[in-house]
Amino acid sequence: MSVEDAARKLGLEQRVLAALTAVTVGVDGSDVVTSGQVYDVVATGGAVRILIDPDKVPEPLQEELAQVIAPYVESLPGVERVVVKPRPRPVAQRERIPGIAHVVGVHSGKGGVGKSTVVVNLAVALAQRGLRVGLLDADVYGPSCPTLLGLSGRAEEDPEQGRIEPKVGHGVKVMSLGFLLPEGQALIWRGSLVDEGLPQLFEHVAWGELDVLLIDLPPGTSDVHIAVARYVRLAGIVTVTAPGQVSVDDVRRGMEMFADMAVPCLGLVENMSGVACRGCGHVAAVFGAGGAHELAEQTGLPLLAEIPFEPEVSELCDGGRPVVTAAPGSRTAEGIERIAAALVERLGLGARVEASA
């Protein structure tokens, strides 16, 4: 792990990594972190996953290493549970895509909880802070980002570069499967099509220089999620859920899947946290209550925003007008701005924002 990546880790992850540098195994005297035997540490609250690199620690020795480090890490303050396992093979083939500083996935457990609405508005909010932002709509089941940004038509290939030009909406460079498919047609993405098609959306698109590329992932857990995490190292995921328990349970499964692939969750967003009355602003809890709070408490992850269902948000967004520009005073826009601020801080983009002010 690079020094830069290690420095971006959360408090507990950093403390565990630092503690593990005291563990030396092997003859050359180097510790398990510096030698790369520990590939990554991902903490979901007090639950710590230590991923061992199977290329550095062959299978017969993995159990031995686990027996040394698990009790040691368990004894550290703030650690409740330790799982030591080999990182999946293959894990992110690409450490970085040239020109793209950070890649962040946005996912949800269930469909229809407002994930695309959140990711589109988040992209616009980040672009408004002066960042160079890309948005890859990888929701193969229903690519809706173009509509939410008022974009349509097909993406064209630049014959000289041999690359597809992303469309630009509200200052965000956008690529969507919706730009590649004939209008109204769906494509069933499975197996090899996912493995071959997805890398093209990263590599064959003329993204240029980006501070952050957001990916609108499909809901649930699928081949697409695995393919993305295997292709490029994600800085993390932002998890969108509705407050009801079923949605929260689905989300937990998705977070576990990403943690197993060494991808941390950067925070939770609760959308549709009740319905805001157009007249008095009172918020009624019609989609369940408290789920995301409970999840945040259990996992120790930050709850970045709670966004109520605001009927005018739906009208504006579905009409291609992101609320962060069309209704900046709305609770949704305020929630999105909080998520944007948290992401800027977590990705270390504060200086870039200041420089572009």
Binding site for ligand ATP (CB under 6 A): 108, 111-117, 139, 142, 144, 219, 271-272, 307, 309-310, 313-314, 317-318, 332
Amino acid in the structure at residue 175: M
Q: Is residue 113 annotated as involved in ligand binding? A: yes
Q: Which residues does 208 contact at the CB level (< 8 Å), separation at least 6? A: 99, 132, 173
Q: How far apart are CA 50 and CA 127, in angstroms?
A: 35
For the bound state, the minimum distance from the C-beta of residue 242 to ligand ATP, rounded and expressed in Å, comes to 9
Cβ neighbours around 190 below 10 Å, total: 12
CA 114 remoteness from chain centre = 15
> Toward ligand ATP, which CB reaches closer, 53 or 270?
270
Q: Do the Cβ atoms of 143 and 197 come closer than 8 Å?
A: no
CA 108 remoteness from chain centre = 10
Q: Is residue 290 annotated as involved in ligand binding? A: no
Q: How far apart are CA 258 and CA 265, in angstroms?
A: 8
Q: Is residue 109 annotated as involved in ligand binding? A: yes
For the bound state, the minimum distance from the C-beta of residue 142 to ligand ATP, rounded and expressed in Å, comes to 4
Q: Which two tokens stand for residue 343?
A: 């992401």
> Toward ligand ATP, which CB reaches closer, 33 or 224?
224
For the bound state, the minimum distance from the C-beta of residue 110 to ligand ATP, rounded and expressed in Å, comes to 7
Adjacent-strand bridge partners of 51 = 40, 85
> Toward ligand ATP, which CB reaches closer, 128 or 147?
147
For the bound state, the minimum distance from the C-beta of residue 113 to ligand ATP, rounded and expressed in Å, comes to 4
For the bound state, the minimum distance from the C-beta of residue 273 to ligand ATP, rounded and expressed in Å, comes to 8
Q: Do the Cβ atoms of 339 and 305 come closer than 8 Å?
A: yes
Find the helix or strand (DSSP H, E) in which 44 lies: strand 38-44
Q: How far apart are CA 97 and CA 202, in angstroms?
A: 8
For the bound state, the minimum distance from the C-beta of residue 5 to ligand ATP, rounded and expressed in Å, comes to 29
> Toward ligand ATP, which CB reaches closer, 115 or 167?
115
Question: Token match 């041999």: residue?
Answer: 162
> Toward ligand ATP, which CB reaches closer, 231 or 309?
309
> Toward ligand ATP, which CB reaches closer, 37 or 239?
239
Adjacent-strand bridge partners of 24 = 31
Q: What SS3 class is residue 52?
A: strand
> Toward ligand ATP, which CB reaches closer, 35 or 314?
314
Residue 83 burial (10 A CB sphere; 0-12, 13-18, 19+): middle
Q: How far apart are CA 264 and CA 201, in angstroms?
A: 23
For the bound state, the minimum distance from the C-beta of residue 228 to ligand ATP, rounded and expressed in Å, comes to 15
Q: Which residues does 113 contact at the CB level (< 8 Å), separation at least 6? A: 219, 240, 241, 242, 247, 271, 272
Residue 312 burial (10 A CB sphere; 0-12, 13-18, 19+): middle
Q: Is residue 46 annotated as involved in ligand binding? A: no
Q: Is residue 263 annotated as involved in ligand binding? A: no
For the bound state, the minimum distance from the C-beta of residue 283 to ligand ATP, rounded and expressed in Å, comes to 11
> Toward ligand ATP, which CB reaches closer, 147 or 299?
147
Residue list for the binding site for ATP = 109-116
Residue list for the binding site = 109-116
